[in-house]
Chains A and B, each alone.
Chain A
Amino acid sequence: MTDYLLSMILFTPLVGAVIALFMAGDKLKYARWVALVFSAIPLGLSLLLVATFDNNILGYQFLEQYTWIETSLLHMQYMLGVDGLSLIMVLLTTILVFLVVLFSWEEKERPNFFFALILGMQTGLLGVFMAIDYFMFFIFWEVALIPMYFLINLWGGPRRHYAAIKFFIYTHVASLVMLIGIFALAFQAASIEGWSQLSFAFTDISGVAFSSGFQVLVFGLLFFGFAVKMPVVPFHTWLPDAHVEAPTAGSVLLAGVMLKMGSYGIIRICLDVLPEGAVAWQIPMIIIALVAIVYGALACIAQRDLKKMVAFSSISHMGMVLLGIATLSDIGIAAGAFQMFAHGLITAVLFMVCGIVGHNVGTRQIPLLGGLAEKMPNYAAFMMFGFMASLGLPGLVGFVAEFNILAAFYNWGLAEGVAWVIVIGLASLLLTAGYYLWAMQRSIFGPVTDKVDVSKVHDVSVYEGVSLAVLCGLIALFGIFPALAWDFVFPVASGLAAVLGVI
């Protein structure tokens, strides 16, 4: 049973996607049921995965290893495995996809295609987190892009073509640069270890002792690939456009999971394989992270479109992730990973909220909104919950992440004799609170807007409400019992930090 657990989780959605695709014509209305079932199965299985995961074992579990391409020069394997880090990302993915399906239950336009894409994307995303062979990793990395391109292009807003192609090309360039880095890793490993075949297995390559110069260079290549995905300033401009145009489901998965691929890659590959490179790149990473944090927050303040604001807030929060990782300390890395998880849950709420207001009220322009708390009280409640979670209100999941990230950052600063830099991180907390509260003040408080017709606006629908409620519940749950997730990621983080520490 558990021998094939990962493969089952990985490919069930793909099967579902194919089935959903054929739910055309008069069977159209069943597409969503197919989607629901085939996203529920992976969810259940991933819960089983979490339950049967042994947290005391370091390294990958539920290994599945089969030779895929075996020639005299190439040795590529079908290799799946999860450790604590990938585990929570898998869990996050399955949860979010399931809820997204629920959220977009009433999708009217080409639902079969829509849900097929979402399920297809799920396979791609899961594959990225499960694959432990660079060849597979890259394949899934790219596969995840394509459905998103269609989601934006077919169900997006007015400028969707521009946004979609921009997203597609921009991230594709990054992936290819990353691919070059992967080539370099593989060949160098082969020539150092004297392998006659190229091997792409994580486990093979992470053991190799690369020269420090090589590490610094290749770290740059890989980091660029991941940084664009996260995204960090200044490689972020595909994100706001993509989010503004993308349909809600797309945005949720894009911000909730896809961005995490970048930070996941940094932890999983850059830090693990290229420790010396990481140390060399530490200062640049920290600077980039701080810039991203503050820059994103400031940009948020200036936004008029609610969704664009949330998009920029993602940039700021992913900067937090990078900051945690860049401290190269066990707390920092673990907190960064935890922030990935936290942000995944929170941002889902935020984008759902943006989607609902855009859909129900007809505009997301903050200046045109107002007094929604009266018209749609439940909506206002969810919005406030999401915003509070996102600005790091203690008791909710975001706080635990930010607290530990900043604590780690302070420790780093103190050790480096620049403890004052913590001020930048703290200032971002203020800015974050600032733009969220201001947005709420203008959108849900005050008199009911007369700039748009809200006479027949209805509150959150059942499906939307349920998915939002579940997310809020999870946010609170992991905020009150963070150890539930933290204890999975910490062993990974401390393992990495131990290696990084001795350099």
Chain B
Amino acid sequence: MNFVEFAWLIPLIPLAAFLFIGFFGDRTPEGGGYVAVGAAALAFILSALVGYEILSGTHGDYYYDSIPWLTISNGVVLNFGLYLDNLAVLMMMFASFISMLIFIYSIGYMHDQGDRKKRYYTKVSLFLTAMLGLVMASNFLQLFIFWEIVGLCSYLLIGFWGFRHPKGDKASLAAASAAKKAFLVTRMGDVALLAGLFVLLNAFSSLDFVTLFDPANIALVDKSTLALGSLLIFGGVIGKSAQFPLHDWLPDAMEGPTTVSALIHAATMVKAGVYLTARSFPIFVQSTDVMLFIAIIGGVTAFYAATMALNNMNIKRVLAYSTLSQLGFMILALGAGGYLIAMGVADGTPITGSKAFGYTAGVFHMMNHAFFKALLFLGAGSVIHAVGTEDMRQMGGLRKRMSVTSITMLIGTLSIAGIPVFAGFWSKDFVLEAVMVVAEGSGVAAAIFLLLYILALATAFMTAFYMFRLWYMTFGGEEGEASKHCHGESEKVMTYPLIVLSVFAALSGFLILFGFNQALTFNWAGPGSDFVIGGGGYGMMDVLEKIFTSPFAYLAIVVAVAGFYAAYRMYNFKDVDPGRFNKDGESAMYQLLQKRYFFPQFYDAIALKLTYPVALAVEQVDRKAVDGTVDGIANSLTGGSQMLRRIQNGFVQTYAAYVLGGLLLLFVAIYMIGYIGGL
């Protein structure tokens, strides 16, 4: 029997949990926490089984199955179904797996939240449902539906403390506003995505992946339409994966519970954008410009976000910025790889070996990032749970008090910083490789990519720096006052997930050596010609050889170590005062970073200085002009009535006068008529 036959159950399991907890959650222990965990676990197991089948190629490139959902016009059918390929099952597996771990962790973390636990587990179960539905979707509309629902869950969970916040009213107001911001900013992207769907629907009169990705169908549509569609869809990516310029909601999203930040705003949901990019590759690669654009957005975001992490004192914010920057990495890799493929598509030359690597690199980094970023956030959560603050200046010296947390977080830090053999090292190196491959080419594009490479390198340096800075400020040095009243290590239900994740964060990189690159190559046969893509015959040795013979790999390592060293000197050894570089926080640069390049103000300006006044103006027009006209007519009638009735002055001879006057008028009229009538 095939497990794929039951794949459709996977999203339904957490859905069932969602409904069950929603109705009976408060009657079950931990507000239904265990139900959620069980559901996630089941979903994971099933995903793993299905994943094995797909990855082992039992069903060819992909497994597709769907039922008609809505026939919107004769011949235009919107379907609802499954499209499972390697990419999808990978997402399914780590989404459900990480969710499971985080749910377990939450049982400890949310323990003291009383009646809110039910709401929490309801929402996260719904989230998992939507996330799985998103990655398993068989067409863009279905994907969009779940895309929006995960957005809703993100909204709900950011606003989780939107009222009755443990830290008081200001905090709850902040949470409510952050939730709104997240929804609106991502919706800007979603609207673009929606427009993209319209373009594709109009061009293909279908939204099914199988139809849209069929080279024969693509060939029928003109390139500019495809490019437009691609860009609009990527707009959705920009929103959901918080790419520049729609990135600013993510830092605010940290108002939500830390577990939520870990699950949604680090490990899974924000990856949806990257997933969508990878998913839409067959359409994106029809235009080099699109891919160039994507790469630029990715590179810029990576660098730009990393800078803001440098001097931030809030542990969660730092992680948030690093998430942004890492997402930028993934997008950059996809863009770079896609650019080559696009060129290949353009002139029909096969794309093989390291040229086909960008896609793999991006997806690979996405997976690794999921592990170590979840780990870092959970670790941060455990710290916050223990010390009751998010300000790193009040922490420090927690190494002794919270040994497990500190060690696991160290692993995560090493991994994200790209220190060799840790997971992050491999994927990040591939990303840089992928960019470099393009940069080696010639022409303007190559130059741009070279620039992007430098940005990425700088980002790598900053990443290492701020991550170790974070680690040292939290765990190293002497204790801050918050650390004083820290009640030791968190309970096991929280620490075990950390340990599990740290194992993955440390080792998942090695997958690449065991055919992972095969599994995650973008295998797609272009229209007609002998054009193929794929890391064909690119085995373990090739990878190792590729990495350890390339100077750039060593450059990356050096950069990472340099970052680590700088952080070490500043925040552990403390012989270099960070204040020296920023006039003790007075420098314009420092302020600029603190103020996030004034992006929040920019958004507020759009909302409050542009939209709201316009709205008020419309309101005024409505009252004064439109409604005024209506009332004006009414009043003129009643006023005229008052005037006319005064004519009726009660003197009979006035009436007689009117009668005879009327008669005269009639005569006049008749004279006119007669005149006209020619009598």
Residues of A within 8 A of B (CB): 166, 169-170, 233-234, 236-238, 295, 298-303, 330-331, 334-335, 371, 373-374, 388, 393-395, 399-400, 403-404, 406-407, 410-411, 414, 422-423, 426-427, 429-431, 433-434, 437-438, 440-441, 444-448, 482-483, 486-487, 490, 494
Given contacts A393-B148, A394-B149, A433-B184, contact A166 B630 (CB under 8 A): yes
In the complex, what distance in Å separates the CA atom of A423 from the CA atom of B619? Answer: 23
Given contacts A301-B612, A373-B163, A399-B145, contact A441 B72 (CB under 8 A): no
Number of interface residues of B (CB under 8 A): 54
User: Is the Cβ of A407 less than 8 Å from the Cβ of B201?
Assistant: yes
Write out the residue numbers on chain A whose beta carbons fall within 8 Å of the beta carbon of B155.
437
Which among B169, B198, B607 is the interface contact of A410 at CB below 8 angstroms?
B198
In the complex, what distance in Å separates the CA atom of A441 from the CA atom of B69? Answer: 34
B187 at the interface (CB under 8 A from A): yes
Write out the residue numbers on chain B whose beta carbons fall within 8 Å of the beta carbon of A234.
626
User: Is the Cβ of B630 less than 8 Å from the Cβ of A331?
Assistant: no
In the complex, what distance in Å separates the CA atom of A35 from the CA atom of B152? Answer: 39
User: Is the Cβ of B195 less than 8 Å from the Cβ of A302?
Assistant: no
User: Is the Cβ of A483 less than 8 Å from the Cβ of B630?
Assistant: no
In the complex, what distance in Å separates the CA atom of A440 from the CA atom of B184? Answer: 13
**List of 8 A-B pairs having minimum Cβ-Cβ separation, nearest first:** A445-B176, A302-B619, A301-B615, A394-B145, A447-B169, A445-B162, A410-B198, A302-B615
User: Is the Cβ of B198 less than 8 Å from the Cβ of A437?
Assistant: no
User: Is the Cβ of A434 less than 8 Å from the Cβ of B184?
Assistant: yes
In the complex, what distance in Å separates the CA atom of A169 from the CA atom of B638? Answer: 14
Residues of B within 8 A of A (CB): 69-74, 76, 141, 144-149, 152, 155, 159, 162-164, 169, 172-173, 175-177, 179-180, 183-184, 187-188, 191-192, 194-195, 197-199, 201-202, 607, 611-612, 614-616, 618-619, 622, 626-627, 630, 634
Write out the residue numbers on chain A whose beta carbons fall within 8 Å of the beta carbon of B188.
430
A-B contact count (CB 8 A): 148
In the complex, what distance in Å separates the CA atom of A382 from the CA atom of B616? Answer: 28
Which among A298, A427, A447 is the interface contact of B618 at CB below 8 angstroms?
A298
Given contacts A302-B619, A434-B611, contact A483 B70 (CB under 8 A): yes
In the complex, what distance in Å separates the CA atom of A433 from the CA atom of B72? Answer: 25
User: Is the Cβ of A406 less than 8 Å from the Cβ of B194?
Assistant: yes
Which among B70, B169, B187, B611 is the interface contact of A429 at CB below 8 angstroms?
B187
User: Is the Cβ of B172 less than 8 Å from the Cβ of A446?
Assistant: yes
In the complex, what distance in Å separates the CA atom of A169 from the CA atom of B631? Answer: 12
In the complex, what distance in Å separates the CA atom of A220 from the CA atom of B144? Answer: 39
User: Is the Cβ of A170 less than 8 Å from the Cβ of B144?
Assistant: no
In the complex, what distance in Å separates the CA atom of A238 from the CA atom of B629? Answer: 12
Write out the residue numbers on chain A whose beta carbons fall within 8 Å of the beta carbon of B74.
330, 494
User: Is the Cβ of A490 less than 8 Å from the Cβ of B162?
Assistant: no
In the complex, what distance in Å separates the CA atom of A302 from the CA atom of B630? Answer: 21
Write out the residue numbers on chain A whose beta carbons fall within 8 Å of the beta carbon of B70.
400, 482-483, 486
A-B pairs with beta carbons under 8 Å apart, 14 shown: A295-B618, A301-B612, A302-B612, A335-B72, A371-B164, A388-B152, A394-B149, A406-B198, A422-B195, A433-B183, A437-B180, A446-B163, A446-B169, A483-B71
User: Is the Cβ of A441 less than 8 Å from the Cβ of B145?
Assistant: no
In the complex, what distance in Å separates the CA atom of A373 from the CA atom of B165? Answer: 12
**CB of B414 to closest CB in A, whole Å:** 40
By CB atoms of chain B within 10 A, which of A301, A393, A423 has the most?
Answer: A301
**CB of A188 to closest CB in B, whole Å:** 30
**CB of A108 to closest CB in B, whole Å:** 32
Write out the residue numbers on chain B whose beta carbons fall within 8 Å of the beta carbon of A236.
626
**CB of A227 to closest CB in B, whole Å:** 14
User: Is the Cβ of A233 less than 8 Å from the Cβ of B184?
Assistant: no
Write out the residue numbers on chain B whose beta carbons fall within 8 Å of the beta carbon of A170.
630
User: Is the Cβ of B173 less than 8 Å from the Cβ of A447?
Assistant: yes
Given contacts A237-B622, A400-B70, A438-B180, contact A426 B195 (CB under 8 A): yes
